[in-house]
Amino acid sequence: MRFCRSATVLCLLLPWLPGRAAAQGDIATTYRAVADSLIRGATADSSAYRRLGRLVDTFGHRLSGSASLEAAIDWVLDAMKADGLENVRGEPVMVPHWVRGAESAELVKPRRARLAMLGLGGSVGTPKGGLTASVLVVGSLEELARRAAEAKGRIVLLDVPFTEYTATRHVRSDGPSAAARAGAVACLIRSVATLSIRNPHTGATLYDSSAARIPAAALSVEDAMLLHRLQDRGEPVVVTLRMEARTLPDAPSRNVVAELIGRERPDEVVVLGGHIDSWDVGQGAMDDGGGSVAAWEAVRLLKRLGLRPRRTVRVVLWTNEENGGRGADAYRNAHAAELDRHVLAMESDNGVFNPRGYVLAGSDSVAAVVRQVAMLMQPIGAARLQRVEGSPAADTEPLAAAGVPTMELDVDGSRYFWYHHSDGDMLDKLDPGELARCVAAMAVMAYVMADLPS
Ligand SMILES: [Zn+2]
């Protein structure tokens, strides 16, 4: 949006004008050498992976409200200052403070067995000592609506297989209130996952204010299927659920912000970042320690190579993406007066797997420029540009709503939902070379977008 505000028509026409080849040639010619040096610099060693290892092995998970999140933020701020980044600061944000406590699910009938479960973020707990009830298994929210009369006083299990994240997440976020409206005493869901070794996956649930708040948890895919098979055979299925989950008063946290101040137009900004918080399982290495470190390392690489673009490059590690989005809102509010000078806001939050390019929400004129910048990533096969409406990433949503072009790193997502929001999300699932290529992709896009003359 920043690039062609006064010449929108020209930019929209650009693809059909003879001058297009020259314009493409300009970006390719001007920035080829610097892009290659950024790719070489990012992929020369495993420094990003080592830094991510320090972050996640030292501090572990980083759930909003936790001491580990704030200790991790302190460490990042100190390390950014030691890197020589500028205007390093934590911008205050009050975040929800949900705690899991002890929890378990046990099959009582037709036999006793432990079930692999994780409470859903935001859930209420069960009464002390737990609750025991017969289970109604349904395969969809539509089936629950049809069989609502059977749900009263029971635990509803939504055994809905993964299709696509947004559609399947809907079951996790809205299923518990749907079950409560049917009179259920608790709600279980099948984990939102594309592969399972009996590991449950958590994630946020959202209570509808019109429904009772009932305890909500995810079972592993295998346990959900087991209960479904038992019901299909006509066996009575009874489960005891125990959860100490509760929500405490909001807690203080911070968005991490650091800059490389622009040499000509310091008040114009390119934002790149990830979210520093995570769920309270595993290490949040993939979601989203990796994205946070990729953005941070990209800016550190610019600094290390002595590259100072015309505009300011600002790394933002948003807090509370997972269960509130308060960091994203706080950034938008704190920077409201300068949002019209935000050239681009880019997040990496799909795991730092092999990068394939970029996903952009922005005008045709911005896309025409970004497409040329993306072509600089051809040497590592990350030149693809996809376009979406709205915002491609969660933390950039408030910025997209304010008219800022927003972007997400496009990566090979084939393994993401194997580990997402589970105990499996640890450093070993990531590859140093893939992470390094993500650093390169973020560094090249951020640098060129911040340095273009107009
Ligand atoms: Zn995430």
**Structure confidence by residue, pLDDT tens digits, 240-291:** 999 999 999 999 999 999 999 999 999 999 999 999 999 999 999 999 999 9
Rounded CA-CA distance 10/24 in Å is 15
Does residue 10 carry a pLDDT above 80? no
Distance from the CA of 275 to the center of ligand 1, in angstroms? 7
Question: Is-catalytic flag, 321?
Answer: yes
Rounded CA-CA distance 13/365 in Å is 9
Q: What is the pLDDT of residues 420-443, one digit of tens each?
A: 999 999 999 999 999 999 999 999
Angle between helices 19-43 and 290-304 (to 10 degrees): 100
CB burial of residue 306 (10 Å; 0-12, 13-18, 19+): exposed
Minimum mean pLDDT among 7-11, 163-167, 306-310: which range?
A: 7-11
Place 405 in a pLDDT band, splitting at 50, 70 and 90.
very high
Minimum mean pLDDT among 14-18, 46-50, 122-126, 341-345: which range?
A: 14-18
Rounded CA-CA distance 313/437 in Å is 19
104 strand-pairing partners: 242
- Cα–Cα distances (Å) from 261 to 293, 311, 336, 360, in that order, read 19, 7, 19, 24
User: 8 or 132: which carries more pLDDT confidence?
Assistant: 132
Place 454 in a pLDDT band, splitting at 50, 70 and 90.
confident
CB burial of residue 167 (10 Å; 0-12, 13-18, 19+): exposed
Check if the beta carbon of residue 298 is closer than 8 Å to that of residue 362.
no
Which has the closest alpha carbon to 246: 103, 66, 100, 102? 100
Mean pLDDT of the chain: 94
CB atoms within 10 A of CB 148: 18
Q: What is the pLDDT of residues 300-353, one digit of tens each?
A: 999 999 999 999 999 999 999 999 999 999 999 999 999 999 999 999 999 999
| pLDDT (average), residues 112-116 | 98
| pLDDT (average), residues 225-243 | 98
Distance from the CA of 292 to the center of ligand 1, in angstroms? 10
Place 25 in a pLDDT band, splitting at 50, 70 and 90.
low
Tokens 């950014």 found at? 80
Q: Where are the alpha helices (DSSP H) in 141-234?
A: 141-146, 165-181, 221-232
- Cα–Cα distances (Å) from 309 to 28, 272, 381, 417, 439, in that order, read 16, 14, 24, 36, 17
Distance from the CA of 385 to the center of ligand 1, in angstroms? 21
Which has the closest alpha carbon to 313: 80, 132, 123, 150? 80
Residue 23 has a pLDDT of 52
CB atoms within 10 A of CB 412: 13
Rounded CA-CA distance 255/93 in Å is 7
Which has the closest alpha carbon to 137: 180, 177, 176, 187? 187
Distance from the CA of 269 to the center of ligand 1, in angstroms? 23
Q: Decide the pairing of beta strands 406-411 and 342-347.
A: parallel
Distance from the CA of 349 to the center of ligand 1, in angstroms? 5
Q: What is the pLDDT of residues 378-402, one digit of tens each?
A: 999 999 999 999 999 999 999 999 9
Q: Where are the alpha helices (DSSP H) in 84-164?
A: 141-146
The pTM for the full model equals 0.93
Does residue 13 carry a pLDDT above 70? no
Check if the beta carbon of residue 159 is closer than 8 Å to that of residue 138.
yes
Looking at residue 287, what DSSP letter applies? I
What six digits make up the tokens of 88?
Answer: 């390093």
Distance from the CA of 283 to the center of ligand 1, in angstroms? 12
Distance from the CA of 295 to the center of ligand 1, in angstroms? 14
What six digits make up the tokens of 150?
Answer: 């059977």
- Maximum CA extent, the chain: 75
Place 9 in a pLDDT band, splitting at 50, 70 and 90.
very low
Size of the chain, expressed as the number of residues it contains: 454
- Cα–Cα distances (Å) from 204 to 51, 256, 320, in that order, read 28, 23, 12
Does residue 3 carry a pLDDT above 60? no
Does residue 183 carry a pLDDT above 70? yes
Rounded CA-CA distance 29/427 in Å is 38
Q: Where are the alpha helices (DSSP H) in 8-98?
A: 8-13, 19-43, 47-59, 67-83
Check if the beta carbon of residue 39 is closer than 8 Å to that of residue 382.
no
Looking at residue 324, what DSSP letter applies? T
The active-site residue out of 103, 259, 321, 322 is: 321
